[in-house]
Amino acid sequence: MSLSCSDRFTDLLCAEDSDEVLSGESPACSSELDSQASCIEESSIDGFIEDETNFVPGFDYLARFQCQSLDASAREASVAWILKVQAYYNLQPLTAYLSVNYLDRFLYSRRLPQASGWPLQLLSTACLSLAAKMEEPLVPSLLDLQVEGAKYIFEPKTIQRMELLVLTVLDWRLRSVTPFSFIDFFACKLDPTGTFLAFLISRATDIILSNIKEASFLEYRPSSIAAAAILCAANEIPNLSLFNPEHAESWCDGLSKEKILSCYRLMQELLVDNARRKPPKMLPQLRVSIRGRMRSSDSSSSSSSSPSYKRRKLNNCLRVDDDDRNSK
C-alpha cells in the first residue's frame, strides 16, 4: 500500500500551534527552556571532555620531538605555511587548527620517508585541503591552495591520493574536538553578563593560533588550552584581570587545575616574548615640500647665500682693490 505525502512526513512536522508561535506564548520563550538549553550545552561540553583524548596524538608524541626522533623545526615550518595560507584566503581559525591536528595525528601513527622536504609538504597540503572541505563554504582548488611560499607544487591527483592515506590513518575521524569546542562556553563562565564575550572569544582565538607552532603545547588537552587562552585574554581586561586562574577548574567536570595553570603560564611567557620581539614602531618621517614659484626677493636671497655667489663677491672685491691701487 502506498503512503500519501501527509502520512509519510507526519513524524517530521512540529506539533505546536502556529498561533502560539506568533503570539510569543510558546514554551520556547520561557526561562524553563532557556535553562534546559544551558543544561544541554553543559552536557555537550561533558561529552567533549570525555572524547577529547581520542582526537589528539599519543602521550609520547611530544617526547619524540624532544629526543629528535621527529623534526620539530620541520613541523614548525609546515604549521607556519598552513597559517600563511589560512591568512591568505581568510579561512576560519578552526580550519587551520584542524589542519595541524590532522598533521600531528598522522605523524604520530605513520612515519614519512623523510622527516622534512616534499613528503611533509605533501602531507601539509592534504591536511589543509581536508580541513577546508570540513569547515569552509568555498574551498580553493588544490592548485590554488599551494600558495604562500610552497616549496613544492603537486598535481591534484597526487594530493588526492595523500588525502585518502590521511583519511585511512585517521580512521576517517575528521570531526575533531579542539580548543574551539570549548572557548565559547568558558568565555560565558568567566563573563556571565556577556559584556566582554566577543573580545574574549576573539582574543583567545588569536592566542591559540599564535601558539599552535609551539610543540610544547602538544602536552595539553584541547580543554586546557582553551581555558588557558581565555584566562590570558581576560588579563587584558581590567574588570576581569583579577580572576583567580585556579578557579577555572570549576567551569566544568574533568578539567585539571594543574594542567590549566601550567598551560596558562606557558602562554603568558610566549606572549611576553612575542611582545619583546616586535620591532619598535618608528615615527613617520616628515617631509616638507615648497610648492610654487619663488618670488624675486626669495630668489635673490637664496642666491646671495650660495657659496658660488660668495666666491663671486669676494673676487669682485679683490678686483676693485687692485684697480684702486693701479690708479694710484
Mean pLDDT in residue range 205-222: 93
Residue 122 in any domain: the answer is yes
End-to-end, the C-alpha distance of the chain in Å comes to: 144
Has residue 12 been placed in a domain?
no
**pLDDT score at 279:** 60
Q: Can you list the pairs that 166-170 forms with residues at least 24 positions away whose Cβ atoms lie under 8 Å? A: 166/102, 166/106, 166/123, 166/126, 166/127, 166/130, 167/130, 169/105, 169/106, 169/109, 169/110, 170/102, 170/105, 170/106, 170/109
Claim to verify: residue 161 and residue 197 sit in the same structural domain: no
- Position 187, amino acid: A
Domain boundary among 138, 169, 200: 169
Q: Both 198 and 218 in a single domain?
A: yes
In contact, 92 and 135? CB cutoff 8 Å: yes
Q: Please tell me the predicted confidence (pLDDT) of residue 83.
A: 96
If asked whether residues 90 and 186 sit together in one domain, one would say no
| Segment 315-326 mean pLDDT | 51
| Stretch among 23-27, 67-71, 147-151, 182-186 having the lowest mean pLDDT | 23-27
Do 155 and 63 share a structural domain? yes
Instruction: Give the span between the Cα atoms of 131 and 212, in whole angstroms.
Output: 16
pLDDT at 81 over 90: yes
Residue-level pLDDT at 40:
46
* Domain endpoint, select from 140, 169, 198: 169
Residues 195 and 266 in one domain: yes
b (16+ CB within 10 A) / e for 107-139: bbeeebeebeeeebbbbbbbbbbbbbebbeeeb
Structural domain ending residue among the three candidates 254, 276, 298: 276
For residue 84, what pLDDT is reported?
A: 96
Q: Does 156 score more than 90 pLDDT?
A: yes
- The yes-or-no verdict on residue 248 having pLDDT over 70 is yes
Domain count, the chain: 2
Whole-angstrom Cα distance, residue 231 to residue 257? 13
Per-residue model confidence (pLDDT) at position 319: 52
Tell me: do 198 and 116 sit in the same domain. Answer: no
- Examine the pLDDT at 128 and tell me if it is beyond 80: yes
Residue 182: pLDDT over 70: yes
Report whether pLDDT(103) > 60: yes
Q: Are 165 and 69 members of one domain?
A: yes
Residues 147, 238: one domain? no
Q: What is the mean pLDDT of residues 117-126?
A: 94
Which range of 26-30, 115-119, 324-328 scores highest in mean pLDDT? It is 115-119
The size of the chain, in residues, is: 328
**What's the mean pLDDT in 228-235?**
94
pLDDT greater than 90 at residue 208 = yes
Is residue 237 assigned to a domain?
Answer: yes
pLDDT of residue 204 exceeding 90: yes
Residue 79: which domain range? 55-169
Instruction: Give me the CATH number covering residue 162.
Output: 1.10.472.10
Residues 200 and 159 in one domain: no
Is the per-residue pLDDT at 12 higher than 70? Answer: no
Q: What whole-number distance in Å separates Cα of residue 179 and Cα of residue 204?
A: 10
Residue 202 has pLDDT above 70, yes or no: yes
- Exposure of 325 by Cβ count < 10 A (0-12 exposed, 13-18 middle, 19+ buried)? exposed
Does residue 323 form part of some domain?
Answer: no
Q: Are 170 and 105 in contact (CB under 8 A)?
A: yes
Position 309 pLDDT exceeds 60: no
Q: Would you state the pLDDT for residue 258?
A: 94
Say what the pTM is: 0.72
pLDDT at 126 (0 to 100): 97
